[in-house]
Amino acid sequence: MAIDYEKKRAHMIQHDIIGRGIEDHRVIEAFAQIPRHYFVDEAARHLAYEDTPLRIRYDQTISQPFIVAYMTEALALTGTEKVLEIGTGSGYQTAILARCAGEVYTIERIEALLDEAKELLTSLGFENIHYHLGDGKMGLEASAPFDAVLVTASADDIPDALLEQLKDGGRLVMPVGDDAAQELVRVKRTDGAYIQEHLGGVRFVRLL
């Protein structure tokens, strides 16, 4: 029997996105427009709209939908921002950001994963995404400063380069901690100072 992905996506949005407190209309609309099942391995597509992380190629993961929504909402995007994403992965978070912001610069360290994400995102019509192979901890100085930075892997500390590449008034969202305990952190740069907020416990792969 064919899976009704549209119905599953609608249920996910109502139950796991809106139902868990996401209010940003840009984020909600992005979830409605982007087919998550395109971004997961074929064998796991029947689970694409469950609120759970899934393994993808090269021992990486695609985050659960609520966490993707929560992290994106925490950036408070209005549609005009230049955003830096560390960790392209499957490209799903990239797609959500590209629907919510003006331009997205995404960095991935695994070339094959970056190529696959670029091919898929291009086929879906995205023209506001810039793809870079490299070390995410170093950010992308040539394209800085950024209005927002989203890091989809955890580290013990926030890399200084990423903080320095934030515009004044910019926001960075990143999981911080070790394998035992991680906290989602939002940092706002204000008049050269970095103000940190804690947004709750999470679990991400490590930033390498």
Q: Say which CATH number the domain at 72 has.
A: 3.40.50.150
Cis peptide before 145 (omega within 30 of 0): yes
**List 63, 90, 123, 154, catalytic entry:** 63
Give per-residue pLDDT as tens, 105-158: 999 999 999 999 999 999 999 999 999 999 999 999 999 999 999 998 888 899
Note down the domain range covering 91. 5-202
Mean pLDDT over all residues of the chain?
93
Active-site residue, 63 included: yes
Would 207 be classed as within a structural domain?
Answer: no
The answer on pLDDT for 45 being more than 90 is yes
Give Cβ neighbours of residue 115 (< 8 Å, ≥ 6 apart).
Answer: none
Would 112 be classed as within a structural domain?
Answer: yes
Tokens encoding 181: 């305990």
**How many domains does one find in the chain?**
1
CA distance 194 to 191: 8
Indicate if the alpha-carbon torsion angle 62, 67, 72, 75 is positive or negative.
negative
What's the predicted TM-score (pTM) here? Answer: 0.94
The answer on pLDDT for 205 being more than 90 is no
